[in-house]
Amino acid sequence: MNFQEKVFEASAQLRARAEAIAQSAIDKARARAGVASKRVDGFKKSLAVLNDAGRQFNQVARRHASRFVKQNSPLVAAVRKDVSEIARSTFTTLTQRPTPKKTRKPATARKRSAKAA
C-alpha cells in the first residue's frame, strides 16, 4: 500500500466519522425540536385561555366601573367640592404673608443714637 492509498483511506475514515457525528447531532436536534414544538403548542393553548379570560375580565370591570360611577357620582361631587375648598383655604393661608415685626435695636445702639441726638 503506497502513501496515496493510505491518505485516501484515512480521509474516507474521517469523512465517515464526520458523517456519523453530524447524523447524531441532527437526530438530537430533531428530538429537541419535537419537544420544543410540543411545549409551544401547550403554551399556545394556555395563552389563548388567558387572552379570553382577560377579555372577560375587562368586560366585567367596565360594567362594574360604570355602575359604580353612576351610583356614586353625588358622593364624588361632594368629595371634589370639599377637597377644592380645603385646597383653596390652604392656598390663601400660605399666600398671605404675615406682617414682619419691627426688630428692636440692641441696647448699645440705642444708647449711641440717644447720645448723638
Distance CA 93, CA 85 (A): 12
Confidence check: pLDDT of 113 > 70 = no
Q: What is the DSSP string of 29-67?
A: HHHHHHHHHHHHHHHHHHHHHHHHHHHHHHHHHHHHHHH
User: Of all residues in the chain, what percent are helix, strand and coil, respectively (each to 5)?
Assistant: 90, 0, 10
- Residue 82: what pLDDT? 93
Confidence check: pLDDT of 117 > 60 = no
Extents of the domains making up the chain: 3-94
The better pLDDT of the pair 112, 36 is held by 36
pTM of the model: 0.39
